[in-house]
Amino acid sequence: MAIRQESTVKVMGTYLLLCAIAFLMLFPLLWLIGTAFKSPTEDIFAFPPQIFPSQPTWGNFATVWQTYPFALYLYNSSLVAFLAVGLNLLLCSLAAYPLARLDFKGREVIFALVLATIMIPFQIVMIPLYILAVNLGLRNTYLGIVLPNLISAFGIFLLRQALKAVPLELEEAARIDGCSELGIWWNIMLPAIRPALLTLTIFVFIGSWSDFLWPLIVLDDPDYYTLPLAVANLADSFSLDWRLVAAGSVISIAPILLLFLFLQKYIVPTDVGSGVKG
């Protein structure tokens, strides 16, 4: 009985610690959302902090939406994010497939070189990328914003590891049926690594949606601004009215939260060998 009570206390202590850590991690987000709904009469810097507004209002969102063309910024960010996700899924899976399933000389060396690029900070390649974008006429274009996110070494690594786990019997059965390499990649491998593809989708979407530095460099036309640039300009436009800045920030992060909530149930391990008889 004493051992069971001690185990219960240990489990409760663990859960309390985890809840405290979760609250500390979520507190800035909760404060941001609460501030976005606070009326001008409420003190947003009160101590102790008041997360939930006493008189919630949608006025901050209406002011931001009417003052700034947020519909255009939402469209720009959505288009850029979807282009980045689609190109990453296509190019990363095409690059990962031969590195995982085909046997050729120098495969491991190529894979090591791809992984080595992860250690290169973006600030080092930023200037060459900008020169390339200018020479290609991609300044103030959607493709120019997507340029650094066309393909990622992390995506290649993630999909390669997932592809290596696909049973060889599925590939051999497809070859017997006369399937080409592209047919095997499309019909066998991609359905088998769906959880990895969805995971990469979330990472690329979040990275592209929240990217601030590269759009700031490659864009000077406000018609192509993405949401991070728009939110950064809110502070100057509203003289640091943090209620309005918070409202713009909530509009900016809402699609990311919705995407994660929608896709998280699909990010589960799948039995890729379920079609193989033992």
pTM value is: 0.83
pLDDT of residue 275: 46
pLDDT tens for each residue of 63-112: 888 888 888 999 999 999 999 999 999 999 999 999 999 888 999 999 99
pLDDT of residue 236: 66
Measured between alpha carbons, how far is 94 from 115 in angstroms, rounded to an integer? 16
**Percent of the chain surpassing pLDDT 90:** 41
Contact 198, 262 (CB under 8 A): no
Question: Cis ω on the peptide bond leading into residue 40 (within 30° of 0)?
Answer: no
Q: Is the pLDDT of residue 238 over 70?
A: no
Average pLDDT score over residue span 122-143: 92
Q: Is the pLDDT of residue 272 over 90?
A: no
Contact 122, 207 (CB under 8 A): no
Estimate to the nearest angstrom the gap between the alpha carbon of 177 and the chain centroid: 38
pLDDT tens for each residue of 178-226: 888 889 999 999 999 998 999 899 899 999 999 999 999 999 898 999 9
Domains and CATH numbers, the chain: 2-57 (no CATH), 68-266 (1.10.3720.10)
